Amino acid sequence: MPEKIMVALSGGVDSALAMALLKQEGFELRAAYMKTWMNEEGIDVFGDCPWHQDIIDATACAEKIGVPFEVADMIEEYRKQIVEYLVDEYRRGRTPNPDVMCNRKMKFGKFLDFALSRGCDKVATGHYCCLRDNPDGTRDLMMGADPGKDQSYFLCMITQNQLMRAEFPIGSLLKSQVRDLARLNGLPNAEKKDSQGICFLGKIRIQDFLGHYIEEKPGDIVNVSGKILGRHKGLHNYTIGQRKGIGVPSNTDKKCYVVVSKDYNTNKLVVAFDSPDAPNLYTTRAALESANWINKPIESPCDIYARVRYRDGLVRARYSPLGGGEGFVEFQTPQRAIAPGQIMAIHDFNEPSVVLGGAIFKSTGQPV
C-alpha cells in the first residue's frame, strides 16, 4: 500500500512540482497551505506579503493535479514558535534565523502533526535538498543538486524522527529543470517568481517590525577609539558585520563603516572601517550551543566542514563537543561577522554533501 503524503504547498512552483512528481509516482496525496502569522494586533506588518495570491495559486495547482487541498490555520502556533522567538532573540541582542526554526518548529513540527492527524505518513516540501536511506534504517540529509539553490542549510536543525517523515521530491533537480517540468505539467504557477524574505514581514523593514515590540533605547555610535560618530535608536536594530543603514557616512577615502560590537553595558554601538584588520570582525574560533544532530552525534573532537550562513560556502573547521549541546569550533580560515544567535550547519568532513546537523553561535573568541 503506497504511503499517504501531505504536500506543503506554498503557492510557489517548487512545492507544486513536488506534488506533481509524487502524483506521477503513485502516492496517495493531500495538500495544504500553512497559513502562519498575520496581523491581529492592529500592526501593519503584512506589507505586500502575497498570501492571498499564494492560496489562490496553491488551490489552482492542487486542482490541476487532482489533489484534495485545504488551508491549515497555524497562526497562533507560528506566533508562539517563530515570532516570539524572533523578537526575544533581537531583544537579547542576538541575530536569529527564523527560516531555520520554521522548518524545525513548524513545517516538520506543527504542520507534520497536522498531516498525521489527517491520516498522512509524511510531509513533502519543495526544498532543494536530498535524502539518503541507510542500511541501519536511518536517513541522511544531503545537499541539493543545484549548488545555487541548495537549501539543506535551512534544515540543519531538524531531527532524525522528522527526517524520517520528510520527502524532498525536487532535490535532485536544477531550478531550470523545475521550471521546465512545471511547464510540461501545465502548472498554473510555472512562471511565478520565487518568494523572498520572511513572508509575514512583506516589504516592511525588520527594524520597523521590531519597533512595535522592543522599546527604542538611543545611544552613541562610536569608533574603536571611543570617538562619538553619531546616534543609534537601539542596539537590537544592528548585527555584527552590518554595513548598510548604520547612519554614519563613510570618510573621504570612501571607506565604509561596519558594526564590530554592541556594548550593552554602555549602550554603545561600536563601528570600524570595513577591513580584514577591523577588531572583532573576523574570528577563527567560536563557542556553540543547542547542537542538533540529525543522525549520530559528534562525541569527540574531529574535522568538519561548516557553513556559517546560508549563502556562504563550506569552510574547513574542527569541532570539539563540550557536552550538554555545547561545543566550540575552530576555523581553518578567519570567518567574517559571526554573531550570537546565528546558526552554523555542520557537514561531514569525508563526505561534505552530508549535513550532520547544526548549532547556534553563542559567542566568538580569539579574534584575528
Cite the active site residues: 102, 199
Contact between 116 and 161 (Cβ < 8 Å): no
List the grid coordinates of 299: 562525541
Half-sphere exposure of 226 (CA within 13 A, CB side): 1
Please report the DSSP string for 71-84 in residue order: EEE-HHHHIIIIIH
Half-sphere exposure of 13 (CA within 13 A, CB side): 23
| Residues ≥6 apart with Cβ < 8 Å to 116 | none
Please report the DSSP string for 183-202 in residue order: HHTT-TTTTPPPP-S-GGGT
Residue type, 300: S
DSSP 364: E
Taking only Cα atoms into account, the Rg of the chain, rounded to an integer number of angstroms, comes to: 22
* Whole-angstrom distance, CA of residue 28 vs CA of residue 60: 19
Angle, vertex CA 153, rays to CA 203 and CA 161, nearest 5: 115
For the chain, how many residues are written? 368
Cell 536544477 appears where? 174
Q: Is 345 helix (H, G, I), strand (E, B) or coil?
A: strand
List the grid coordinates of 285: 574560533
Burial of 368 (0-12, 13-18, 19+ CB in 10 A): middle
